[in-house]
Amino acid sequence: MPRGYLCLVLHAHLPFVRHPEHPEFLEEDWLFEAITETYVPMLQLFDRLAAEQIRYRVTMTLSPTLCEMLADPLLQDRTARRISRLTELVDQLRSRARAEFRPALDMYRRHFAETTKTFETRCGRNLLGAFRKLQDLGRLEIITCAATHAFLPLLHREEAVRAQLRVATTNYRKHFGRPPRGIWLPECAYAPGLDRFLSEERLRFFIVDAHGLLNGSRVPKYGVHAPIRTPAGLAAFARDVESSKQVWSAREGYPGHGAYREFYRDVGFDEEASFIRPYLHADGVRRNVGVKLHRITGEVPLHAKEPYDPVAASAKAREHAGNFHFNRVEQTRHLAGVYGRPPVVLAPYDAELFGHWWFEGPQFLEHLLRLAASHPQELELATPAELESGRLQVLEPSMSSWGDKGYSEVWLNGGNEWIYRHQQEIADRMVALARSWPQADGLDRRALNQAAREVLLAQASDWAFLMTTGTAVPYAHRRFKLHVDRFHRLHDQVRAGRVDENLLREYEGKDTIFQEIDYRVFA
Amino acid sequence: MTSAERFLAEHAPRFEEIRETYLDYGPLLPTRYGPPLVRLLVRDPEGIYAYWEGGTTLRVLDRTRGSEMRMDILEVGSGFLAAEPEHEYEAEIGREESGHFAAVARSNRVRTPRRGPALEVDAEWAPTSKEWEQLRALSALLAMPLPSSPKA
């Protein structure tokens, strides 16, 4: 038995953003950036370790909305186009760059060449297949999420919660060929009683924030360092505070080190307008394009950042991985002494931290996984699925989330509260429709299925989140309202017995998510 | 705030805002849906949220304390209300005439969460003194303090 277990949980999620009605669309960049900077580098590192027979265990959420985008041919084509544009941009930059930027540009050139190889050759543009293979090999534990990442404690009726979960587990089976064992609750948000619905989907474990266990119905004997059993029989694991802080904290966190790539200094702003114009969106507005040639340097203004040195940054990532591993070994040594049993340290992160925000994050992860594999007696990598069986303390976790202040405020405040009236109304109407049409067929059935998609898309926590953080606010408003509006039109047409096929086809062509959906999931 | 957003907020240098080019806020939604309705949602241990339509008085019932509060409201509206941890609430909307309240709709019932640990200990899973100290360190880190010893 090892002295302790480390569960790394990487939560990969993006809202469903797909706009076939436009030749290019700004918010689709979220997916392209995550693919080139996070998902592909992760696949590459997982592949390398698997090829070297290195034993690693990592848990990863691939949210249903993300899966649906990764499997979408239109978005795959657009991703491929994006990668080739960036490759071309880097070549152009290299032909005119000053010597101090050569190392960074050489790195980018290799990076995009390898990205192309992985995306096109290794994966045939569909990353899901590669992730699925790693799961089948026993390296990755892929868990699901709610269908559109709804903040479940704010859904007001059981049917809505059930639909979010049922659509998610059905979609998981479509993409991964087996049922999911665990779930990442969107925003880590739990409320007492949710476990019953998770149990109906035969899910075996989920994750809560630290205070979800600490403030549970009983004092948790082992704090956040052992799973507990909920009243409905699921295992709940809690986030370890110490390991989170080490990566996230602005002062002590690794990603803020001066050697690492500076996210906010991008050639989209640095290069002269006529040169960079072809690589911007059609509106010509300067934005980050994803090629960044400076390092964080220190607490200096953006213009004083120094050139990026990939070799120094890699060395730092290796050093930080060593430090993280050392700290976890020390932590589990201490905790094993306190509890007289191996503690479970569960460290969850947004997957996009690794690569997208923290460019060297995937290198950090790879070093960490190698270190852990070579010292298994001190700290063993494990997944919650391997640790959830057996007799556990029974308690009901408290309502909690990993959002600012720990509850619902990020998703329910003066800037976004107006959405809930509409979101709940359309869920009520959807339930009523599903009950009034238990056996619809033909056009009615298509309209009802599309109505169900619109309800789910309106429930995404992302819209409320964007409204709170002040990013892409008009887009978030528009997306939320569009789905509500589309639902109402479909609802009224079905009720009136006059479905407009042209309109239906338009919505079906835009909101293509969950082709397998059966609207009766809301009944 | 998710961890990525927290990271961004902490690391972001302040620099000129990117010009907003996407100013379509989407279609207009109905301002009201018809039947009288009041609903409650939980924000956190100290706050709940209500939205309603179809009444001029909102009556908030604290089912734990057995108290109530009434306020004049617009026919269609919403608002955040102060609450206490671990209390159950319900609300009604209606009309008040000469002190008499006639309800037209009643809300769902909600319960606010605990602000700190429950302090209920299972005999079989009672923390040892070392474990209690470990829990105290965690609760201090989360600013949700535990007393120095468990409840008997």
Q: Could you tell me the pLDDT band of residue A252, with boundaries at 50, 70 and 90?
A: confident
Q: What is the 3-state secondary structure (H, E, C) of A209-270?
A: CHHHHHCCCCCCCCCCCCCEECCCCCEEEECCHHHHHHHHCCCCCHHHCCCCECCCCCHHHH
Instruction: Work out the average pLDDT over B19-29.
Output: 75
Question: Does a structural domain hold residue B12?
Answer: no
Same domain as B149, residue B108:
no
Assign A439 to helix, strand or coil: coil
Residue B150, pLDDT score? 59
Same domain as B109, residue B40:
yes
Q: Which structural domain range is residue B69 located in?
A: 33-115
Enter the pTM of the model: 0.95
**CATH tag for A5-17+26-71+126-240+342-405 (out of 3.30.460.20, 3.20.110.10, 3.30.70.260, 1.10.3720.10):** 3.20.110.10
Instruction: Work out the average pLDDT over A57-81.
Output: 98
Who wins on pLDDT, A241 or A504?
Answer: A504
Residue B21, pLDDT score? 52
In chain A, the percentage of residues whose pLDDT exceeds 70 is 100
Same domain as B152, residue B80:
no
Same domain as B128, residue B75:
no
Residue A506, pLDDT score? 98
> Residue A334 contacts by C-beta under 8 Å, 6 or more apart in sequence?
none
Q: What is the 3-state secondary structure (H, E, C) of A303-349?
A: HHCCECCHHHHHHHHHHHHHHHHHHHHHHHHHHHHHHCCCCEEEEEE
Residue B19, pLDDT score? 45
A100-130 pLDDT, tens digit per residue, is 999 999 999 999 999 999 999 999 999 999 9
Task: Using alpha carbons, select from A156, A175, A185, A145 the residue that is nearest to residue A71.
Answer: A175
- Considering only alpha carbons, which residue of chain B is nearest residue A354? B4
B32-53 pLDDT, tens digit per residue, is 999 999 999 999 999 999 999 9
Q: Report d(CA A339, CA A275) in Å as an integer.
A: 62
User: Is the pLDDT score of B147 beyond 90?
Assistant: no
Residue B143, pLDDT score? 82
Domain definitions of chain A by residue range: 5-17+26-71+126-240+342-405, 413-522
Task: Using alpha carbons, select from B57, B135, B55 the residue that is nearest to residue B98.
Answer: B57
In chain A, the percentage of residues whose pLDDT exceeds 90 is 96
Is residue A187 annotated as a catalytic residue, yes or no?
Answer: yes
| Residue A121 to chain B, least CA–CA distance (Å) | 31
Same domain as B107, residue B49:
yes
Instruction: Work out the average pLDDT over A74-102.
Output: 96
Question: Does a structural domain hold residue B18?
Answer: no
Provide the β-strand partners of residue A133. Answer: none
Question: Does a structural domain hold residue B69?
Answer: yes
Residue B149, pLDDT score? 64
Same domain as B147, residue B109:
no
Residue B5, pLDDT score? 54
Q: Are A29 and B22 in contact (CB under 8 A)?
A: no
Residue A253, pLDDT score? 87
Instruction: Work out the average pLDDT over A322-350.
Output: 96
Residue A250, pLDDT score? 66
Task: Using alpha carbons, select from B66, B72, B61, B128 the residue that is nearest to residue B95.
Answer: B72
For A38, half-sphere exposure in the C-beta direction (CA atoms, 13 angstrom radius) is 21
Question: Does a structural domain hold residue B27?
Answer: no
Q: Could you tell me the pLDDT band of residue B6, with boundaries at 50, 70 and 90?
A: low
Q: Could you tell me the pLDDT band of residue B13, with boundaries at 50, 70 and 90?
A: very low
Question: Does a structural domain hold residue B70?
Answer: yes
Same domain as B127, residue B60:
no
Instruction: Work out the average pLDDT over A492-519.
Output: 98
User: Is the pLDDT score of A439 beyond 90?
Assistant: yes
Is residue A100 annotated as a catalytic residue, yes or no?
Answer: no
Inter-chain contact B142–A335, Cβ cutoff 8 Å? no
Q: Which CATH number characterizes residue B105's domain?
A: 2.60.40.10
- B39 close to A (CB below 8 A): yes
A413-522 — its CATH code?
Answer: 1.20.1430.10
In chain B, the percentage of residues whose pLDDT exceeds 90 is 70
Largest CA distance in chain B: 62
Q: Could you tell me the pLDDT band of residue B141, with boundaries at 50, 70 and 90?
A: confident
Interface with chain A: mutation pick from B89, B134, B141, highest number of A CBs within 10 Å: B134
Question: Does a structural domain hold residue B51?
Answer: yes
Inter-chain contact B118–A399, Cβ cutoff 8 Å? no
User: Is the pLDDT score of B151 beyond 90?
Assistant: no
Strands A205-208 and A140-145: unpaired
Residue B18, pLDDT score? 44
- Considering only alpha carbons, which residue of chain A is nearest residue B108? A156
Instruction: Work out the average pLDDT over A249-265.
Output: 89
Question: Does a structural domain hold residue B48?
Answer: yes
Phi-psi region of A180 (alpha: psi -120 to 50; beta: other; left: phi over 0): beta
Residue A22, pLDDT score? 93
Q: Report d(CA A239, CA A66) in Å as an integer.
A: 23
Of B13, B51, B116, the CB nearest to A264: B13
Domains: count for chain B: 2
Same domain as B132, residue B85:
no
Q: Could you tell me the pLDDT band of residue A355, with boundaries at 50, 70 and 90?
A: very high
Question: Does a structural domain hold residue B73?
Answer: yes
- A197 close to B (CB below 8 A): no
The complex's ipTM works out to: 0.94
